[in-house]
Amino acid sequence: MTLDPSYLEYPMRRRGMDHDSYPYSALPTRPPLHWPDARLLQIWPVISLEYFPMVPSDTPFRAPGHMQTAYPDYRHYTAREYGTRIGIFRLLDAFEAVGARVSIACNSAIAQRYPALLETILAGGHEIIAHATDMNATIASGMPAGAEAAIIHESVETLQRLTGQRLRGWLSIARSQSFDTPRLLAEAGIEYMCDWVNDELPYDFATPAGSIVNIPLNHELSDRQIINVQQQSVDSYAQQIEDAAAWLLAEAEAGGGRMLPLHLTPYIMGLPYRIDAFDQLVRRLAALPGAGFATGADILNAWKARQ
């Protein structure tokens, strides 16, 4: 039996990129990027506030960190709920001690279930990023027609209604997208997404519904990856973050502004045996000459105003 020729046909197959969403761009060849106030390094903290339903969905895939053992899985459920009861407040205290505003990637279920927590975040001047409805709302190609659009619409609409703000950013669960996600986000009025991690600076991303900016949220430097997956200590985490900041500042001196994302999880970093080291890390980062904290919206504004 011969293979149907259609399996080998792909109209975008060519040298270079196999899509028209953005052009290939090597960082050393770009014009220098200048951040406001002559800042060299934008440090971008993103705290994920996640609601894990007791019974996980494996369609299209199970979200990282979801329930693992026989249900009801109270051990993992309550360990994650620790983040909304204790961990998030420790993280906010660490940033507010240095006057930093951060981005909060929030499931809309969190805003519905914990209105007092939402009020605390908004009172601190922090930014809300849409992060789907709950941790069963994973996205991938092959979903039923309309299902992904419904997740995006419900998440964005609910968060906008409860915050009274127009949301500008989106983070997918596990940074996973379908072929349609960027278009659907643009149609929903979202201005930037955080899912594509192929760069260290923002870039414009074309969709059939118009342009959206991708601000890459590095996964390798996340607390989940370093502390939970790689089983390293919080001191090792802090050293790696400081090493990254030092390297990026040195690059920025010669090559233009740089960006350092800090992806944080309250039930991981907010534990009492980690928060002291993290608090001290935040203070050291705040004292770095040429560096400062920013929200995703701050970075987006600077990116759009660069010309």
Alpha-carbon distance 41 to 293, whole Å?
Answer: 8
Query: pLDDT for 79-103, tens place per residue?
Result: 999 999 999 999 999 999 999 999 9
Residue 300, pLDDT score: 98
Determine contact, residues 150/188, Cβ cutoff 8 Å.
no
Query: pLDDT for 4-56, tens place per residue?
Result: 777 677 777 766 667 889 999 999 999 999 999 999 999 999 999 999 999 99
Residue 1, pLDDT score: 61
Q: Is 288 exposed, middle or buried (0-12, 13-18, 19+ CB in 10 A)?
A: middle
Alpha-carbon distance 55 to 231, whole Å?
Answer: 26
- pTM here? 0.94
Query: pLDDT for 210-232, tens place per residue?
Result: 999 999 999 999 999 999 999 99
Q: Is 101 exposed, middle or buried (0-12, 13-18, 19+ CB in 10 A)?
A: middle
Q: pLDDT: is 103 or 144 the higher one?
A: 103
Percent residues over pLDDT 90 in the chain: 88
**For residue 60, cis peptide bond before it (omega within 30 degrees of 0):** yes
Determine contact, residues 244/221, Cβ cutoff 8 Å.
yes
Q: Extract the tokens encoding 194.
A: 């955080």
Residue 18, pLDDT score: 77
Percent residues over pLDDT 70 in the chain: 97
Angle between helices 147-163 and 115-123 (to 10 degrees): 70
Q: Phi first, then psi: what are they for 167, rounded to 5°?
A: -75, 140
Give the mean pLDDT of 109-135: 97
Q: Extract the tokens encoding 205.
A: 């991303």
**134: confidence class by pLDDT, cuts 50, 70, 90:** very high
CB neighbour list of residue 303: distance below 8 Å, 6 or more residues apart: 202, 213, 215
Determine contact, residues 256/34, Cβ cutoff 8 Å.
yes
Domains of the chain: 34-304 (3.20.20.370)
DSSP state of 12: T
Alpha-carbon distance 199 to 190, whole Å?
Answer: 20
Cα radius of gyration (the chain): 20
Q: Extract the tokens encoding 115.
A: 């209105």
Q: Is 66 exposed, middle or buried (0-12, 13-18, 19+ CB in 10 A)?
A: buried
**237: confidence class by pLDDT, cuts 50, 70, 90:** very high
For residue 3, pLDDT beyond 90: no
Query: pLDDT for 172-212, tens place per residue?
Result: 999 999 999 999 999 999 999 999 999 999 999 999 999 99
